[in-house]
Amino acid sequence: MRKIEVGILGATGMVGQRFVSLLEHHPWFEVAWLAASERSAGRTYAEACNWRLREPLPKTARELPVEECKPGKAPQLVFASLDSKVAGEVEKEFAHAGHVVVSNSSNHRMDPDVPLLIPEVNPEHLALVRVQKHERKWKGMIVTNPNCTTVGLVMSLAPLEKTFGLEKVMMTSMQAVSGAGYPGLPVLDIIGNVIPFIGGEEEKVERETRKLLGKFVDGHVLMGDFAVSAHCNRVLVEDGHTESISVSLRTKATVEDLIEAWRKFHARPQELHLPSAPKHPIIVREERDRPQPKFDVWTENGMATVVGRVRPCPVLQFKYTALSHNTIRGAAGAALLNAELMKAEGYLD
């Protein structure tokens, strides 16, 4: 199969670098075009980008020129990881010009005609792009993935919602510093500290969770019928968002039932053998002190959600811990899996 050329908007940032790295040996896609702000435009990627990943900057991207974020020369498929201050307008401009924009940014996630997608959870929501193209008269489209904190929560909730129904969800996060982009927080603000505020994050988690677990009926998403409350905190961890979650379910269940629902969870990406799909989307750890970001964040190449410590909750019914890699499964890996699903389902033809 000839590889599909792709572009990256925001290629120099934390998530953009993850895209470049994950796409280096991708069997279906290859990076052909990179763009960032006018500060970076006109330089080669190696000059413009302050490469912060442990793996080396791929040779194939090193000498590519960084362009301005203007449609025209970009390939049809573009991954987007732009600063949210500019992402909204730039993404619309690209979709209008005929590009398929697979975005990480929050700007369009809650638009009623834009799919907010986790391929294991709500692949049927992808059909919203037909409504989007019709209503906006775009030749292209925008598809989004959730916030990096939402994704681990929703991956762990999806089998519970499907098997038992959800009534109430409480989530307290301990979020990695890489979630704030590069260079991120000043070291004196975060070292030896926990910051109990991340602007807009709690609201994003609460509304995105209900959209992702909502039903797709007659071209609309009906928001999930359960309550979600999120407390979001920044902690001094490099990668990996850890979440303490409590849930009330609509039908009777035991701790063993929850574990079985997670272990049995397989979905569309696994059936389709999508290249970035984890073999097991949810891994249950049985040790009493796992998951931990230090040991578990790279499970299934950073694409699995790791859960553990499931036990009864005296306030809601059950409580457990979930961990997910914020710049892989919560960002670049999520968008890549979205594009793979789109390719496999014929949305890129």
For the beta carbon of residue 215, count every other beta carbon within 10 angstroms: 13
Paired residues of 283 in beta bridges:
306
Q: Per CB under 6 A, does 36 bind ligand NAP?
A: yes
Rounded Cα distance between 330 and 152, Å, is 8
In contact, 114 and 120? CB cutoff 8 Å: no
Helices (H), the chain: 14-23, 45-48, 59-62, 84-96, 128-136, 148-164, 187-190, 201-212, 255-264, 268-271, 293-296, 333-344
Active site (catalytic) residues = 148, 241
Cβ-proximal residue to ligand NAP, closest one: 13
Rounded Cα distance between 16 and 2, Å, is 24
Give the DSSP letter of residue 257. Answer: H
Residue with Cβ nearer ligand NAP (12 or 122): 12
Which position has the token pair 């775009």?
Answer: 138
Rounded Cα distance between 183 and 181, Å, is 6
- Over the window 116 to 155, marking each residue x when it contacts ligand NAP by CB under 6 A and - when it does not, the resulting string is --------------------------------x-------
Residue with Cβ nearer ligand NAP (16 or 308): 16
- Tokens standing for 287? 């040790």
Largest CA-CA distance found in the chain, in angstroms, rounded = 60
Residue with Cβ nearer ligand NAP (87 or 307): 87
- Residue type for 221, please? V
Of 178, 209, 246, 276, the one binding ligand NAP by CB under 6 A: 178
Q: Which of residues 68-87 bind ligand NAP (CB under 6 A)?
A: 69, 81-84, 86-87
The interface region with ligand NAP, picked from 33-41, 214-222, 251-259, 272-280 by CB under 6 A, is: 33-41
The interface region with ligand NAP, picked from 103-111, 211-219, 288-296, 307-315 by CB under 6 A, is: 103-111
SS3 content of the chain, % helix, strand, coil (to 5): 35, 25, 40
**In the complex, least distance from residue 144 CB atom to ligand NAP, rounded to whole angstroms:** 10
Helix (H) or strand (E) holding 144: strand 141-144
**In the complex, least distance from residue 222 CB atom to ligand NAP, rounded to whole angstroms:** 25
Q: Per CB under 6 A, does 10 bind ligand NAP?
A: yes
Characterize the bridge pairing of strands 4-9 and 29-36. Answer: parallel
Name the strands in the sheet holding 282-284, side by side, starting at the edge strand that comes first in the sequence: 227-234, 166-175, 241-249, 318-324, 305-312, 282-284
Of 15, 166, 221, 282, the one binding ligand NAP by CB under 6 A: 15
Residue with Cβ nearer ligand NAP (185 or 259): 185
**In the complex, least distance from residue 15 CB atom to ligand NAP, rounded to whole angstroms:** 4
**In the complex, least distance from residue 241 CB atom to ligand NAP, rounded to whole angstroms:** 8
**In the complex, least distance from residue 330 CB atom to ligand NAP, rounded to whole angstroms:** 5
- Over the window 306 to 335, marking each residue x when it contacts ligand NAP by CB under 6 A and - when it does not, the resulting string is --------------------xx--xx----
Residue count, binding to ligand NAP (CB under 6 A):
30
Residue with Cβ nearer ligand NAP (12 or 317): 12
Of 4, 5, 24, 37, the one binding ligand NAP by CB under 6 A: 37
Query: What is the SS3 assignment for 325-339?
Result: CCCHHHHHHHHHHHH
Of 14, 141, 213, 228, the one binding ligand NAP by CB under 6 A: 14
Task: Tell me how far apart the terminal alpha carbons of the chain are, to the nearest angstrom.
Answer: 14
Of 181, 185, 235, 257, the one binding ligand NAP by CB under 6 A: 181
**In the complex, least distance from residue 333 CB atom to ligand NAP, rounded to whole angstroms:** 10
Site residues (CB under 6 A) for ligand NAP?
10-16, 36-37, 39-40, 69, 81-84, 86-87, 104-106, 148, 178-179, 181-182, 326-327, 330-331
